């Protein structure tokens, strides 16, 4: 069955739905993004961003330190040499590029970022501008393999590389999950914004990581191949370990979070160190909500019986009953594949729309996970008359959100300062801080 392109007349790119290092046999997939064919220039570059492969760029952008120890703010644009840009073909597309060429990498970066923006602009019902749009005309997307991290900041997103525990090197520019995660941070900076220093909570930081992961999860469900493979492997039983809840499994993310996790707020009662870990109860609550809404979609279509749904819910986290639940799902799935797919896409889009509206409504100051849950319920009342409110409340309560307060932030471990000021430092803020420093 041919899939009707969402953007007829858009620009073609080839993207890896999953980092090639995780699945070397998989070819990149042709996607069409919203830019009208012929409108994306060499780089690629359009009116909101450009991707570059700089020659010998160091250090990364952000707050850096001079030799004398004094800090400075290093921001785009890159003014040095660049490796050859990716050029569009005669019809304006980039899907002709050989995936082993350096030009492919920058095209892949650009294509992934725009793909994720298309998905979320759709959920928001409007174009979400970059948080730095007032100060920078365009976002600079940088392929920087010498950097062992990836980070969005004011006017830039830089994509480094990582090495797994087993010593396998991979480029973040090829990893859709990592790219989508950084765009997710950008969406939160643009919509929720930054708290005042006194209004910044630990939960704000955990929420940021959680939202970035949810952006990655929901965006990857817009690849037809990911949805097909997911349903084929699980036969509709999404609680089994699958593509969807293994986010960015590479080295520095190795300890990180299964979205389908069992972490509750009690774990942080004495304090927390890493916002990635602190994000888990919130991501888990929302991921479980999506699975429950998927089950509701199956029920509504009479694809599973209420008994099967009840069993799946009850044994969600009990491996020894999984075989029983799996058999029931496999039976239900056989012969109803297109209907299961439709149910999954509907659940994905319900949660996508709900999250977008929730983020639009959330304040940055004094943000708490409970407030995220309450706002989701409020959005559910406005969008559906409260069809899923019970599901949302149950999943937030299971995580002890609103019941168990988290402790203070404990000392950060070196190199884990993911939310450091380089992510959000703007020229105006830097000036202001410098004046404050001088006045002391
Ligand atoms: Zn992050």
- The model's pLDDT over 238-290, given as tens digits with 9 standing for 90+, comes to 866 444 444 443 323 333 345 777 889 999 999 999 898 899 999 999 988 99
Give 216: exposed, middle or buried? Use CB within 10 Å, 0-12, 13-18, 19+.
Answer: buried
DSSP 364: S
In a domain, 421, yes or no: no
**What is the pLDDT at residue 130?**
97
Distance 23 CA to ligand 1 centre (A): 23
Domain containing 46 equals 12-191
Distance 230 CA to ligand 1 centre (A): 24
Distance 209 CA to ligand 1 centre (A): 5
Number of domains in the chain: 2
In a domain, 199, yes or no: no
Distance 337 CA to ligand 1 centre (A): 34
Average per-residue pLDDT for the chain: 88
Distance 76 CA to ligand 1 centre (A): 21
Residue where a domain terminates, one of 159, 191, 223? 191
Bridge-based pairing state of the strands 161-163 and 150-153? unpaired
- Does 154 share its domain with 212? no
Local structure of 330: helix, strand or coil: helix
**What is the pLDDT at residue 20?**
76
Distance 257 CA to ligand 1 centre (A): 12
Distance 14 CA to ligand 1 centre (A): 25
Chunked mean pLDDT (size 10), the chain, 440 residues: 70 90 81 98 98 97 91 95 98 97 98 98 97 95 96 96 83 93 96 92 95 93 87 81 44 44 91 90 92 93 89 73 84 93 97 98 97 98 98 96 92 56 81 69
Distance 150 CA to ligand 1 centre (A): 9
- Does 362 share its domain with 387? yes
Give the pair of three-digit tokens for residue 1: 């069955």
**What is the pLDDT at residue 32?**
97
**What is the pLDDT at residue 2?**
41
Q: What is the CATH number of the domain that holds 70?
A: 3.10.170
Distance 2 CA to ligand 1 centre (A): 35
State how far the alpha carbon of 26 is from the alpha carbons of 19, 22, 111, 116, in Å: 9, 9, 18, 20
Q: CB under 8 Å to 29, separation ≥6 — which residues?
A: 14, 15, 16, 17, 223, 224, 225
In a domain, 354, yes or no: yes
Distance 213 CA to ligand 1 centre (A): 8
Closest CA to 417 of 258, 209, 217: 209
Give the pair of three-digit tokens for residue 311: 């069993």
**What is the pLDDT at residue 13?**
98
Distance 320 CA to ligand 1 centre (A): 34
- Does 58 share its domain with 89? yes
- Does 151 share its domain with 251? no
Residue where a domain terminates, one of 191, 223, 239? 191
Distance 254 CA to ligand 1 centre (A): 14
Count of CB atoms situated within 10 Å of the CB of 306: 9
Stretch (H or E) spanning 440: none
**Ramachandran sector of residue 395 (left: φ over 0; alpha: ψ -120 to 50; beta: rest):** alpha
Give 409: exposed, middle or buried? Use CB within 10 Å, 0-12, 13-18, 19+.
Answer: middle
- Does 39 share its domain with 130? yes
- Does 243 share its domain with 132? no
In angstroms, rounded to a whole number, what is the distance separating the alpha carbons of residues 289 and 293? 6
Distance 125 CA to ligand 1 centre (A): 24
Give Rg (Cα) of the chain: 22
- Does 309 share its domain with 344? yes
In a domain, 198, yes or no: no
Distance 12 CA to ligand 1 centre (A): 28
In angstroms, rounded to a whole number, what is the distance separating the alpha carbons of residues 55 and 46? 22
Q: CB under 8 Å to 168, separation ≥6 — which residues?
A: 21
Distance 185 CA to ligand 1 centre (A): 7
Closest CA to 221 of 291, 274, 273: 291
In a domain, 418, yes or no: no
Q: Is the dihedral of CA 33, 37, 43, 49 positive or negative?
A: negative
Q: Tell me: cis bond preceding 44? Omega within 30 of 0 counts.
A: yes
Distance 108 CA to ligand 1 centre (A): 20
State how far the alpha carbon of 87 is from the alpha carbons of 113, 224, 353, in Å: 17, 27, 35
**What is the pLDDT at residue 418?**
47
- Does 233 share its domain with 375? yes
- Does 130 share its domain with 212? no
Residue where a domain terminates, one of 157, 191, 225? 191
In a domain, 403, yes or no: no
- Does 109 share its domain with 231? no
Distance 322 CA to ligand 1 centre (A): 32
């Amino acid at each position: 069955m041919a899939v009707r392109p969402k953007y007829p007349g858009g620009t073609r790119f080839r993207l890896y739905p999953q980092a090639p290092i995780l699945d070397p046999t998989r070819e990149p997939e042709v996607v069409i993004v919203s830019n009208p064919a012929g409108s994306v220039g060499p780089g690629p570059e359009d009116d909101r961003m450009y991707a570059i492969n700089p020659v010998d760029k160091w250090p990364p952008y952000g707050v850096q330190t001079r030799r004398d120890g004094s800090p400075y703010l290093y921001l785009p644009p890159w003014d040095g040499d660049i490796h050859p840009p990716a050029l569009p073909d005669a019809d304006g597309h980039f899907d002709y590029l050989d995936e082993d060429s350096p030009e492919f990498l920058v095209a892949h970066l650009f294509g992934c970022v725009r793909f994720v923006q298309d998905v979320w602009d759709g959920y928001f019902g409007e174009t979400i501008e970059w948080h730095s749009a007032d100060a920078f005309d365009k976002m600079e997307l940088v392929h920087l393999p010498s950097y062992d991290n990836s980070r969005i900041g004011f006017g830039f997103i830089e994509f480094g590389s990582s090495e797994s525990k087993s010593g396998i090197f991979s480029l973040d520019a090829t990893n859709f999950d990592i790219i989508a995660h950084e765009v997710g941070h950008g969406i939160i900076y643009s919509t929720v914004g930054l708290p005042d220093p006194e209004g910044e909570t630990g939960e704000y930081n955990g929420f940021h990581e959680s939202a970035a992961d949810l952006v990655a999860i929901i965006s990857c469900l817009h690849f037809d191949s990911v949805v097909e493979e997911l349903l084929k492997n699980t036969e509709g039983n999404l609680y089994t370990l699958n593509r969807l809840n293994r986010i960015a499994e590479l080295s520095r993310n190795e300890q990180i979070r299964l979205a389908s996790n069992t972490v509750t707020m009690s774990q942080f009662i004495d304090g927390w160190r890493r916002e990635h870990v602190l994000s888990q109860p919130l991501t888990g609550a929302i991921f479980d909500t999506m699975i429950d809404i998927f089950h509701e979609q199956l029920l509504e279509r009479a694809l599973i019986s209420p008994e099967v749904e009840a069993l799946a819910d009850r044994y969600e986290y009990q491996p020894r009953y999984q075989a029983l639940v799996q058999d029931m799902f496999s039976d239900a799935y056989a012969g109803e594949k297109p209907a299961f797919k439709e149910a999954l896409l509907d659940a994905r889009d319900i949660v996508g729309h709900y999250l977008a509206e929730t983020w639009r409504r959330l304040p940055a100051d004094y943000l708490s996970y409970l407030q995220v849950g309450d706002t989701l319920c409020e959005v559910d009342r406005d969008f559906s008359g409260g069809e899923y409110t019970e599901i949302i409340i149950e999943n937030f309560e299971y995580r002890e959100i609103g019941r168990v307060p988290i402790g203070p932030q404990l000392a950060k471990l070196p190199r884990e300062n993911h939310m450091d000021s380089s992510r959000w430092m703007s020229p105006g803020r830097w000036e202001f801080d410098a004046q404050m420093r001088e006045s002391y």
